[in-house]
C-alpha cells in the first residue's frame, strides 16, 4: 500500500469485511452528512470489492479531500502473506498472518480455465477428526468476517483478477473447506459469504460456493435458508460406531439427525445435489458392504458422492485405500445411480491437499516460542 497517510496502519480502522451499512456508519462517524453517506458507502463498496483497490487515492469517483480523510482514518490492508507456495500441479497455497500473529491457510486449485479457492474459517479446529491433520492442532480462534474476506482478496491480488471480470474468471468458485468447521463460526462465515455473493462486488454466485461441514446438524437448515449455497457433508462412515470413533462430532449429532437435516436442506434438488464426501481409509471404511450401506443411507436425497483418497500427513494413523478398493467402491455407488468421482489429490507436494492443513504457529506457542513464519498446513478443495 502506498497510502499517503501519516498515522500507522494499526491505528486506522480496516474497512475490509464491512457491509454497506457499516461503511455508511463509518462515513457518518467521520463527519460525512448522513444524506450522502449511503451513496458514498456504495461507491466505497465498489472500490473495495469490485475493483479491489488497496489505496484510497485510486478511488477516483470520490473527491480529493474525502480520499485524503479516508486514508488518514482507514486502511484496506490485507493480512501479511507469511508464505506463498506453488505446487508443481499449479495449486497455490498462502499462509496468512493476521494482526494478532495467528495464521491460517487458503489454497487455490486451478483447472484449465477456472478454479476453486478453498478458504479457512478458523485457526485450527476443535473437531479432532482422526484422519485430519488440522484436527491435531487445537483451535486457537474463529476467523472474523474480515479475515475470511481477506483470503479472497489475497488470492485475487495474486492473480491480478481486478476489477471483477464478467466471464473467464480464474477464481470462479469458493469452497469453505479449509481449516476449521464453518458452521461453528456461522455468523462470520455467513457475513463473508454474503459479501462474496453480492453482484456489485466479488460477484460469486451461490451456485459456485460450497460449504462443507462435518455435520453440525442444527445449523444446516439455517445455512440453506439464509445463504442457499451448495452443501457438502463430510460423511466418511456409514455407521454410528465407526463415525463416533473417527469423527467425534457424531456423538453429538449422530447419522440419523445429520441425514434428516440433509433431507430438509432448502433448495436441494437434482440440479443442486448435496455432496457427500467420503475419505477412503484402507481397511476402515472402504469395503463393498460399506458402499452398499452408503447408498441405502442416503436414499431419497438428491446427492453425489465425492470419494477422497486419504492424504497422508506426518504421524497419520491411516493409510489410503488401494486403487482397486476405491474403484470397486465407486462402481457400487455408481450402479445405484449416484455420480461418484474420485477426487484427484491436488497440491500434495506442498501439503495443500484435503486434510493436510495445519498452522505451525500453535506448536511454536506451546513450546514458548513466539509465533514465526514457518512451513504450515494446507486445506483441500474441489470444484463442484
Binding site for ligand SAH (CB under 6 A): 127, 129, 131-132, 177, 181, 212-214, 234, 236, 277, 279, 308, 310-311, 354-355, 380
175 within 8 A of 151, measured Cβ to Cβ? no
Joined together, the cell numbers standing for residue 2 give 502506498
> Between 201 and 355, whose beta carbon lies closer to ligand SAH?
355
The C-alpha cell of 342 is what? 474420485
Cell numbers 462517524: residue? 29
Smaller CB distance to ligand SAH: residue 154 or 220?
220
Q: Is 105 a catalytic residue?
A: yes
Comparison of 24 and 143: residue with beta carbon closer to ligand SAH = 143
* Nearest distance from C-beta of residue 123 to ligand SAH, angstroms: 13
Say how many residues make up the chain. Answer: 384
Q: What is the arrangement of strands in the sheet containing 80-86, beginning at the earlier edge strand?
A: 80-86, 92-97, 103-110, 115-118, 173-176, 209-213, 230-234, 274-280, 303-309
* Closer Cβ to ligand SAH, 172 or 212, answer by number: 212
Query: Parallel, antiparallel, or unpaired for β 303-309 and 274-280?
Result: parallel
Distance, CA of 24 to CA of 40 (rounded, Å): 7
Which residue's CB atom is positioned nearest to ligand SAH? Answer: 355
Which of 3, 32, 103, 105 is an active site residue? Answer: 105
Backbone angles phi, psi at 7, to 5 degrees: -75, 140
As measured in angstroms, the least distance from the Cβ of 16 to ligand SAH is: 23
Burial (CB count within 10 angstroms: exposed 0-12, middle 13-18, buried 19+), residue 157: middle
Query: Which is the catalytic residue, given 118, 125, 132, 354?
Result: 354
Measured distance CA(86)–CA(94) in Å, rounded: 9
Biggest CA pair distance of the chain: 70
Least separation in angstroms between CB 318 and ligand SAH: 8
C-beta of 53 vs 149, nearer to ligand SAH? 149
Q: How far is the CB of 115 from ligand SAH (least distance, A)?
A: 17
From the CB of 309, what's the least distance to ligand SAH, in Å? 7
Alpha helices by DSSP H, listed for the chain, are 20-29, 34-45, 64-73, 145-159, 186-197, 217-226, 240-246, 249-252, 255-263, 288-297, 323-335, 361-366
CB-based contact 374:200 (threshold 8 Å): no
Q: How far is CA 193 from CA 119, 205, 255, 362, in A?
A: 11, 10, 27, 27
Please count the other Cβ atoms lying within 10 Å of the Cβ belonging to residue 61.
Answer: 10
The residue among 127 and 140 lying less far from ligand SAH, judged by its C-beta, is 127
**Counting Cβ atoms within 10 Å, is residue 248 exposed (0-12), middle (13-18) or buried (19+)?**
middle
Closest to ligand SAH by CB, 76 vs 235, is: 235
CB 236 to ligand SAH: min, Å: 6
Q: Could you confirm whether 354 is annotated as catalytic?
A: yes
Q: Closest approach of Cβ 264 to ligand SAH, in Å?
A: 19
What does the alpha-carbon distance between residue 331 and residue 86 come to, in Å, rounded to a whole number? 34
Catalytic residue annotation? 105, 354
Amino acid at each position: 500500500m502506498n497510502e499517503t497517510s501519516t498515522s500507522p496502519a494499526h491505528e486506522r480502522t480496516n474497512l475490509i469485511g464491512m457491509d454497506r451499512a457499516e461503511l455508511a456508519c463509518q462515513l457518518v462517524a467521520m463527519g460525512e452528512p448522513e444524506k450522502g453517506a449511503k451513496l458514498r458507502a456504495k461507491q466505497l463498496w465498489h472500490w473495495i470489492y469490485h475493483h479491489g483497490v488497496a489505496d484510497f487515492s485510486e478511488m477516483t469517483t470520490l473527491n480529493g479531500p474525502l480520499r485524503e480523510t479516508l486514508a488518514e482514518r482507514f486502511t484496506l490492508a490485507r493480512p501479511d502473506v507469511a508464505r506463498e507456495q506453488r505446487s508443481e500441479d499449479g495449486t497455490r497455497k498462502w499462509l496468512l498472518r493476521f494482526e494478532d500473529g495467528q495464521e491460517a491457510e487458503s489454497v487455490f486449485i486451478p483447472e484449465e480455465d477456472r478454479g476453486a479457492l478453498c478458504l479457512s474459517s478458523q485457526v485450527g479446529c476443535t473437531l479432532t477428526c482422526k484422519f485430519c491433520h488440522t484436527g491435531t492442532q487445537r483451535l486457537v480462534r474463529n476467523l472474523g468476517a474480515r479475515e475470511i474476506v481477506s483470503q479472497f482478496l489475497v488470492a485475487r491480488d495474486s492473480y491480478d483478477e481486478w476489477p471483477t471480470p464478467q466471464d473467464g474468471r480464474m477464481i470462479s468458485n469458493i469452497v469453505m473447506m479449509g481449516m476449521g468447521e464453518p458452521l461453528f463460526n456461522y455468523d462470520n462465515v455467513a457475513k463473508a459469504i454474503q459479501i462474496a455473493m453480492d453482484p456489485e462486488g466479488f460477484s460469486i454466485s451461490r451456485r459456485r460456493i460450497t460449504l462443507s461441514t462435518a455435520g453440525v446438524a442444527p445449523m444446516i437448515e439455517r445455512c440453506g435458508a439464509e445463504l442457499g449455497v451448495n452443501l457438502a457433508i463430510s460423511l466418511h462412515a456409514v455407521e454410528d460406531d465407526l463415525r463416533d470413533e473417527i469423527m467425534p462430532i457424531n456423538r453429538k449429532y449422530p447419522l440419523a439427525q445429520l441425514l434428516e437435516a440433509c433431507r430438509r436442506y432448502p433448495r436441494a434438488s437434482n440440479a443442486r445435489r448435496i455432496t457427500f464426501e467420503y475419505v477412503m481409509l484402507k481397511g476402515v471404511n472402504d469395503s463393498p458392504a460399506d458402499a452398499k450401506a452408503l447408498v441405502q443411507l442416503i436414499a431419497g436425497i438428491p446427492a453425489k458422492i465425492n470419494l477422497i483418497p486419504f492424504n497422508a500427513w506426518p504421524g497419520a494413523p491411516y493409510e489410503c485405500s488401494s486403487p482397486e478398493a476405491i474403484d470397486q467402491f465407486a462402481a457400487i455407488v455408481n450402479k445405484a445411480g449416484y455420480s461418484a468421482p474420485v477426487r484427484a489429490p491436488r497440491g500434495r507436494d506442498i501439503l495443500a491437499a484435503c486434510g493436510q492443513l495445519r498452522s505451525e504457529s500453535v506448536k511454536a506457542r506451546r513450546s514458548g516460542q513466539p509465533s514465526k513464519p514457518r512451513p504450515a498446513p494446507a486445506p483441500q478443495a474441489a470444484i463442484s
